Amino acid sequence: MDYFKILNLSREPFSNSPEPEFFFPSQGHLTCLQQLELAIRLRRGLNVVMGDVGTGKTTLCRELILRFTEREEDRNEVETYLLLDPSCNTPREFLSAVAFAFGLAVMAAESDWQIKENIKNRLFFKGVEEKKTIVLIIDEGQKLPAFCREILREFLNYETNKYKLLQIVIFAQNEFREIMKEHVNFADRVNKYHLFGPLDFGETKAMIRFRLARAGRPADTPLFTFCGLWAIYRATGGYPRRIITLCHQVLLALIIQNKSKADWFLVRSVSRRLKPAFSRIPQLATAGLAAVLLIVFAAFWFLIPQWTINRYPASIPAVRTMPAPVKAASSGKESPPATPAGLVESLPEQTKGNPAVTDPMLLAKQAAPPTKPAPALAGKANLEQKAPDNLGRLNIRKGVTVIQLLRDVYGSSGPDRFQAIIEANPHIDDINIVRTGERIIFPAVPAATSWPQDGKLVRVANKTNLDEAYGYYKKCPVYVRMLPFWNPRDGMVFAFVLKKVFYSEKEARSAISNLPASLAAKAEIMEKPGEDTVYY
């Protein structure tokens, strides 16, 4: 089909059918799948999976079945039966549906009790004689009437001294939670609950890239820009079904408009046409509220990026530099250059206001106490007078994303840092698709605040280059964070401090004593760097 050839695809990447080969293993879905498989193999009985419409429950249901049919060994040990629509009108109708699924014939003259006995005998024969695990999977579980839940509860009573004869997995929408609260006898039988929510932005991007790759699209030629991906996430809320529907329509728009990439404007245009399907605002919302939301959205997309560019332009590093001398208007003499904040106050009296003292290196040397030189951090002191343009470079490792690196190095992945990363790495076409081994430059983006007011920090280590610091960080406990900073005396420093802020020396020393020996040996209460320190 020309549709595939135009987009360099071998098949449809965003089909609305639950195709198992397009199952995206997000962290939540993968965890649920592994726990369900383990519970079934251990014959734990009843498991319930709940989530909103479009969170991927049906796709997960098919993937679970596939896991027990791929290998011949599993096919000989596990039998799965799927009940798609459990909305029955009578108990006999439900019993007959289950019996037919298990390969049992139901006679008109048989009573409900006799059908149950036939099912119990079949489960006993399969589970004990043939040593097989029988799994009944029910989709759309919120449709189960009360009498069906009671029948399932009775099925769970069919057991040996070691295990349940029937394993039941129910996939249902969130309304099933309220139903369970009203039927305590049934809820008490549940081995494990699994609650699904929508994907986050990182998982949304990964899902789209995963599906395109499965459909034959090369990873080095992305179809969506970063802003286009963000627009998809905002329009769909991270719900997989909505993402698939919107992406399919965007690909059609690409062909119609003869474009090579889907940007923010294209995605927004398509999502507006599909607005009834993706609207997360109640239909009764007032026109005034809609107008306010539209203004806020426009401000976020247009004003904040422009503010970021103005604050950190690509051609001007966001660093502190000494301005050139300017001539005074009245006398024609040159005024002294500005010194770092707090530096003049620490100078000897004879240097304050002296126009002859214009050498920034001399200022820095005179600022330090003559009898007590500044301590070298993690080695020798760095006397550079200009803050660095970047913090260093890191190689992308397998399974690590740029978003994750931003959080690790800067502590956050805000729009200013993401924009700075893009500008500092022009050699990368798409920052979201970075190959393993690629070198990423981390620009020196100053942080608004880093040192806690009236607080104390406990430092456990110092590093002087980003590569060494990141390697150390990946081995640190979760209660340790990286604090990059620069000043004229110490140069570039990557300090590792406890995340907790302490407001007394006693409290800080108590925390040090409770650290593991390897950290406590080098831990100390960190002195606040000078006022001329730049934090990143």
Strand partners, 280: none
Write down the pLDDT at residue 294. 57
Chain CA centroid to CA 332, Å: 59
Residue among 487, 243, 472, 460 at smallest CA distance from 360? 487
Give the range among 155-159, 230-234, 333-337, 506-510 with minimum mean pLDDT.
Answer: 333-337
Give the DSSP letter of residue 126. Answer: I
Q: What is the mean pLDDT of the chain?
A: 78
Q: Is the dihedral of CA 105, 107, 113, 118 positive or negative?
A: negative
Sheet arrangement for strand 46-51:
78-83, 133-138, 166-173, 46-51, 190-196
Per-residue pLDDT at 80:
92
Task: Say whether 24 sits in a helix, a strand or coil.
Answer: coil
Lookup result for tokens 């997960």: 60
Distance CA 96, CA 116 (A): 9
Tens of pLDDT, residue by residue over 185-225, are: 888 889 888 888 889 999 999 999 999 988 888 877 888 99
* DSSP bridge pairs for 535: 485
Q: What is the per-residue pLDDT for 119?
A: 93
Give the residue from 254, 221, 209, 261 showing the smallest Cα distance to 3: 254
**Residue 357 three-state SS:** coil
What value does the mean pLDDT take over residues 272-276? 78
pLDDT at 148 over 50: yes
What's residue 400's pLDDT?
Answer: 67
Question: Which of 67-76, 148-157, 409-418 has the lowest average pLDDT?
Answer: 409-418
According to DSSP, residue 338 is labeled P
Q: What is the mean pLDDT of residues 163-175?
A: 92
Instruction: Rounding to the nearest 10 degrees, give the CA dihedral for residues 395, 399, 405, 408.
Output: -120
Question: Hey, what amino acid is at 42?
Answer: L
Number of DSSP helices (H) and strands (E) in the chain, helices first: 22, 12
Alpha-carbon distances of 108 from 113, 147, 152, rounded to whole Å: 13, 20, 22
pLDDT in tens, 447-469: 876 788 888 899 999 998 998 99
In the numeric block, the tokens 């970075």 are attached to 434
Asked if domains 2-12+200-278 and 27-196 share a fold, the reply is no
Q: Where does residue 353 fall: left (phi above 0), alpha (psi -120 to 50 degrees), or beta otherwise?
A: left
Domain residue limits, the chain? 2-12+200-278, 27-196, 390-535
Say how far apart CA 17 and CA 248 lie, in whole Å.
12
How remote is the C-alpha of 437 from its chain's centroid?
22
CATH classification number, 27-196, choose in 3.40.50.300, 3.40.50.1100, 1.10.1670.40, 1.20.1250.20: 3.40.50.300
In this prediction the pTM is 0.51
Res 67 pLDDT > 90: no
What is the model's pLDDT at position 367?
A: 42
Q: What is the DSSP string of 207-251?
A: HHHHHHHHTT--TTS-SB-HHHHHHHHHHHTT-HHHHHHHHHHHH
As a whole number, mean pLDDT of residues 483-489 equals 90
Pick the residue with more confidence: 224 or 260?
A: 224
In 174-212, at which residue ranges do the beta strands (DSSP E only) sit? 190-196
Scanning the structure block, which residue is given the tokens 């965890």? 31
Query: Residues 277-285: what's their mean pLDDT?
Result: 42
The arrangement of secondary structure in 2-12+200-278, i.e. its CATH architecture, is Orthogonal Bundle (1.10)
- Percent of the chain at pLDDT exceeding 90: 25
C-beta of residue 119 within 8 angstroms of C-beta of residue 150: no
Cβ(490)–Cβ(377) under 8 Å?
yes
